Amino acid sequence: MTHLLPEAWHERQGLAELLLALGQAAGDVRFVGGFVRDSLLGHASADVDCATRLRPEEVADRIRSAGFKAVPTGIAHGTVTAILPCGPVEITTLRRDVGTDGRRATVAYTNDWREDAARRDFTFNALSADPANGKVYDYFGGLDDLAAGRVRFIGDPLTRIAEDHLRILRFFRFHARFGKGAPDPEALAACVARANDLMALSRERIADELLKLLALPAPSSTLEIIVSHGLLRPVLPEVDGDAPERVRALEAAEREAGIAPDPVRRLAALLPPDPKVATAIATRLRLSNSIRKRLGCAADRSVPAGAHELAYRLGRESALDRLLLDGRAAEAMEVEQWQAPALPIGGRDLLGRGMKEGPQVAEVLQRIERRWIDEGFPDRARTDQIVDEVLAARRDGKERLQ
């Protein structure tokens, strides 16, 4: 019999009191989902999710009686969030699906733990644990699948995908995170058969799931499976056959530079190196303005300047994008540790040296900045000398013209 180690939750402030209030002694509450799965693997889990036989209204009352704030975050679907000193804890009443349309489900409450587990996507996500003693309940072989590194749908994969089309992308994200070897063949066949279902999803949900996949340490092998089977074609037809190799090269550059994986940078590698295409895709996926601009900048793979100048011109983040996408890990390490200086003089300094106001001030300042960058961002004393030299050359040029 498998049990969770108590260290997984005993040190979380306020959690013991909440579980007592929710009827731990009577077996009315269990840990569920990712918290159980990750704890069994020895991974720290940021989120704690619970399921309960209690109705949402009673859950809220019991949370408040324990001295915590109750927030009805998903009351229509039976979820109440308790705000504890250790962080938020979601508590959801046991449910069963009444109907689904591929995007959302209509649910009804139940008292049956197995029935609630059966509506989850993968076997190891249906595990639950009794907080009173740590006993793990496994209705669908999730423990064996977790040990084997096998991502397997509960029941018929085609049916489960029809219930929620996003499960296609979730399957590959979990395979990239937990899978060992080739994906489950029945699940893969179902994902391929229902790939067009992705078109019914909002682009925000697709983008969110794709970025979660790309944030994993090494998603390129899984992306190779996705792309080779044409699974992104219905929603991202621009992704070409070379995309997984570009992501793999980026993974290697990030590791060499000691720079953490960045999902937006990985998305830039996945997309074609064309700023207009990258910007259009970012707009289609309804990504934020800042991400859209970053993708457009990263899609221009040229690195015409030195690493420090690139960081000064584009900012550190975009400079890292271009350098790592170009495989220049050593220069990326330099930029990661470099603090870009500010040009130590401005337009007022030039006016103070006798220049008249007008567009020529900006032009001269640009010449000075160009020299300052070329000389490696020197200090104020050398910058003043550069100013003198540029102004002298300007005066000399005017005199010659006369």
Residue where one domain finishes, among candidates 122, 148, 174: 148
Residue 383 lies in a domain: yes
Q: Kindly tell me if the per-residue pLDDT of 401 is higher than 70.
A: no
Over residues 304-323, the mean pLDDT reads 93
Backbone φ and ψ of 55, nearest 5°: -75, 155
Q: How many CA atoms lie within 13 A of 367 on its CB side?
A: 14
Where does the pLDDT of residue 105 fall: very low under 50, low under 70, confident under 90, or very high at 90 and above?
low
What does the block give as tokens for 113?
């733990």
Q: Distance of alpha carbon 115 from its chain centroid, rounded? A: 31
CATH number, domain with residue 125: 3.30.460.10
Residue where one domain finishes, among candidates 113, 148, 183: 148
Contact 252, 223 (CB under 8 A): no
Residue 167 lies in a domain: no
Alpha-carbon gap, residue 233 to 253, rounded angstroms: 27
288-313: per-residue pLDDT in tens?
999 999 999 999 988 888 899 999 99
Q: Kindly tell me if the per-residue pLDDT of 100 is higher than 70.
A: no
User: What is the DSSP pairing of strand 105-109 with strand 95-100?
Assistant: antiparallel
First to last CA, the chain: 96
| Residues 267, 269, 271: CA angle, nearest 5 degrees | 70
Residue where one domain finishes, among candidates 117, 132, 148: 148
For 260, other C-beta atoms within 10 Å of its C-beta total 8
Residue 331 lies in a domain: no
What pTM was estimated for this model as a whole?
0.88
DSSP per-residue string spanning 283-338: HHTT--HHHHHHHHHHH-----S-HHHHHHHH-HHHHHHHHHHTT-HHHHHHHHH-
Residue 243 lies in a domain: no
Instruction: Please tell me the predicted confidence (pLDDT) of residue 402.
Output: 31
Domain of residue 44, residue span? 1-148
Task: Report H helices in 164-242.
Answer: 167-178, 185-193, 203-214, 220-228
Instruction: Please tell me the predicted confidence (pLDDT) of residue 399.
Output: 44
What does the block give as tokens for 388?
């003198």
Residue 158 lies in a domain: no
179-192: per-residue pLDDT in tens?
999 999 999 999 99
Instruction: Please tell me the predicted confidence (pLDDT) of residue 98.
Output: 67
- Window from 232-236, 248-252, 321-325, 387-391 with minimum mean pLDDT: 387-391
Q: What percentage of the chain exceeds 90 in pLDDT? A: 84
Percent composition of the chain: helix, strand, coil (DSSP 3-state, to 5): 55, 10, 35
Residue 176 lies in a domain: no
- Window from 58-67, 95-104, 156-165 with minimum mean pLDDT: 95-104
Q: How many domains does the chain have?
A: 2
Residue 229 lies in a domain: no
Q: CA nearest 287: which of 205, 170, 171?
A: 205
Residue 110 lies in a domain: yes
32-71: per-residue pLDDT in tens?
999 999 999 998 887 899 999 999 999 999 999 999 999 9
